[in-house]
Amino acid sequence: MSEENTLNAVELATELTIAWLGNQNNRVSGEDVPTFLRAMHATVTELAGGAAASETEDASAGQEFSPAVSVRKSLASKDHILSMIDGKPYRTLRRHLSTHGMTPEDYRRRYNLKPDYPMVAESYSEQRRAMAKKIGLGAKGRAARSQTAPATAAPRGRAKTA
């Protein structure tokens, strides 16, 4: 790869990182900026067709991640789940994980968690369930299942008119 392409990849990665950090909806600590910049540079280099990105991916794939908190401590409260990435409390981990470029499956795999490890705090899940029942979500399906006369139901399709 020529020096000109490398310089362009660095400049492009830097500009993309500045633009991403300039967005008020993206909240990130100063400690995470170098990691994000490295990931952005690897992505730009990979898209440019360089082999350097695959080398950095191989290095990060073999890297062991130490959790910020233990599994037991992360689930200790019904009101929140502590992230194993940064140790901060969240009612739901999905958005937090997406800011780190991870899916729940990636998160579970990274920290060797069981497939049923929750992504939503227990009390928050109960609140959402109660609200859904209150406004009647799913009532149409329950009402349809309670009518157990499928043989007497009208056939589907258009009725013929004479």
Give the confidence band of 89 by pLDDT, cuts at 50, 70, 90: very high
Residue 87: its pLDDT value, please?
A: 94
Residue 75: its pLDDT value, please?
A: 95
Residue 149, pLDDT > 80, answer no
Q: What's the mean pLDDT in 150-157?
A: 58
Q: What is the pLDDT of residues 41-57, one digit of tens each?
A: 888 888 877 554 455 45
The answer to whether the predicted template modeling score (pTM) of the entire model surpasses 0.85 is: no
Residue 98: its pLDDT value, please?
A: 93
Mind listing the domains of the chain with CATH numbers?
A: 9-49 (no CATH), 71-123 (1.10.10.1550)
Q: Which of 15-29, 58-72, 80-94, 95-109 has the lowest mean pLDDT?
A: 58-72
Helix, strand, coil abundance in the chain, percent, nearest 5? 55, 5, 45
Q: Is the Cβ–Cβ distance between 110 and 102 less than 8 Å?
A: yes
Q: Is the Cβ–Cβ distance between 82 and 88 less than 8 Å?
A: yes
Q: What's the mean pLDDT in 110-114?
A: 93
Residue 52: its pLDDT value, please?
A: 47
Give the confidence band of 94 by pLDDT, cuts at 50, 70, 90: very high
Q: What's the mean pLDDT in 66-80?
A: 94
Residue 3, pLDDT > 80, answer no
* Cα–Cα distance, 61 to 34 (Å, whole number): 18
Q: Where are the alpha helices (DSSP H) in the chain?
A: 3-22, 33-47, 52-61, 71-74, 94-99, 104-110, 122-135, 139-146
Q: What's the mean pLDDT in 13-19?
A: 85
